[in-house]
Amino acid sequence: MTDLESRLTRLSTPGLRPPVLPDADVAYTLHDTPIGTMLLAISHGRVVASSFDDEETMTDRLARAVSPRVLRQPGPLDDVRRQLDEYLAGQRRAFELDVDLVLASPFQRLVLEDLPTHTSYGRTTTYGAVAGDIARPKAARAVGTALGANPVCVVLPCHRVIGANGALTGYAGGLDAKRFLLNLEAKS
Amino acid sequence: MRSTYVMALRLPPFQALIDAHWQDVARLARALAGPDDGDDVAQRAWEKAYAAYPALTSAKNLRSWLLTITARCATDVHRARKPQRPLDEAPPVAVDGPETADWPDPDLWRAVNDLPERQRFAITLKYVGDLDHHGVAAALDTTPAASRRLVSDALATLRTKLGVHDD
């Protein structure tokens, strides 16, 4: 490349501005919480993700499952963030949010959909009990896997489900996060 | 008999395109349309791309797809302005003025700006946009051979204007 050509490649002006786009089909934001950074996403007014997974993984999944028009737009998530912060500060016991389990399989939906009614604030239940609640008493292990894949963590309280022997077993956000949430609910 | 393969098209999240390419689009738009219209051209290009995105039939070369849209938007702006701007009036890129003092390489800006439109677009797409001649040709609705000619004519003019003899 000649000197003139490399001068051309550097031709620029300062103060470039990123674009501003209309409301996304899927709007998401990264939200810092006491239990780690969470990716929150909303589509047509319904929460589609509240996850500890990384940005690239989650936005790829949302692009495939909902629409490729996925944008980082914090505005549409203001209410979700507010409710989550209140909950994590011990000032809220239930979420008033519409959830869309578009990232879940049919069986995961069966397990996750009614979690707020099958569990209660400040109490734990077991994988076996949840399996019984959905009329699949032998599916405790599958229930555990479905809960582990919860795309809408905290809002759908999979952290309230523990092993029959009292072991916390596992959590997408790590066992420390699960312990934090259970302690929070026990205190508040 | 031809068989048809239906492949599930996996488009990346639009935000990934913005993160990867917004600076390239902004830089190209300013080089094509000047600093006054450039930001407007970039914004319009992103709106068009966003509207068209879900219907895309290929996820290949998304960068050159974006730069092509940018070039078309710059052409539209340029054509829309033309009737109000006689040939001998001020050029579309205003390179003189206090706000340009901190621009790198004002002499080059001025010389590029004085090129005929097609040459200016071709050379900008090639070097600022970093497209190959196929990409330039696609953006300008022409052939790679024509793109090559436009770029080499433009380089020759710039060399004379700027007094550089580096090859």
Which carries the bigger pLDDT value, residue B146 or residue B107?
B146
For chain A, report the end-to-end CA distance as a whole number of angstroms: 67
Lay out the sheet containing A26-33: strands in order across: A46-51, A36-43, A26-33, A70-72
What share of chain A has pLDDT > 90, as a percent? 87
Output the pLDDT for position A71: 98
- The CB-side HSE value for B112 (13 A sphere, CA atoms) comes to 32
Q: What angle do CA B76, B77, B81 make, to 5 degrees?
A: 115
- Helix residue ranges per DSSP H, chain B: 14-52, 62-81, 106-113, 117-123, 133-139, 144-162
pLDDT band of B106, cuts 50, 70, 90: confident
- What CATH architecture is B15-54+61-162? Up-down Bundle (1.20)
Domain residues for the domain of A100 are 26-187
**Residue A16 located in a structural domain:** no
Q: Which residues of B touch A (CB under 8 A)?
A: 10-16, 18, 22-23, 25-27, 30-31, 35, 38-39, 42-43, 46-47, 50, 53-54, 102-105, 108-109, 112, 123-124, 126-128, 130, 155, 158-159, 162, 164, 166-167
| pLDDT tens per residue across span A131-188 | 999 999 999 999 999 999 999 999 999 999 999 898 888 899 999 999 999 999 999 8
pTM, entire model: 0.87
Q: Where are the domains of chain B?
A: 15-54+61-162
Domains: count for chain A: 1
Residue with tokens 């004085």: B114
- The C-alpha atoms of residue B145 and residue B136 are separated, in whole angstroms, by 10
Indicate yes or no: CB of B13 within 8 angstroms of CB of A60: yes
Give residue B83's pLDDT band: very low, low, confident or very high (50, 70, 90). Answer: low
Whether the pLDDT of residue A96 is over 70: the answer is: yes
**Residue B88 pLDDT greater than 50, yes or no:** no
Please list every residue in chain A whose beta carbon sits closer than 8 Å to the beta carbon of residue B14.
24, 63, 68-71
CATH code, A36:
1.10.10.10
Is there a domain that residue A6 lies in?
no
Instruction: With respect to residue A43, please indicate whether it lies within any of the assigned structural domains.
Output: yes
Rounded Cα distance between A112 and A11, Å, is 54
Cross-chain Cβ contact B128/A17 below 8 Å: no
Considering the domain boundaries, does residue A47 fall inside one?
yes
Residues B49, B53, B58, CA angle at the centre, nearest 5°?
Answer: 115
The tens digit of pLDDT for each residue in B21-71 reads 999 999 999 999 887 889 999 999 999 999 999 999 988 899 999 999 999
* Cα-based torsion angle of the residue sequence A123, A127, A133, A136 in order, rounded to the nearest 10 degrees: 180
Can you tell me whether residue B100 is helix, strand or coil?
Answer: helix
With tokens 């550089």, the residue in question is B164
For residue A92, give both structure tokens.
């809220």
pLDDT tens digits for A37-78?
A: 999 999 999 999 999 999 999 999 999 999 999 999 999 999
Catalytic residue positions of A? 158
Of B14, B105, B128, Cβ closest to residue A71: B14
Say how far apart CA A153 and CA B155 lie, in whole Å.
Answer: 58
A7 occurs within a structural domain: no
For residue B100, pLDDT over 90 is answered with no
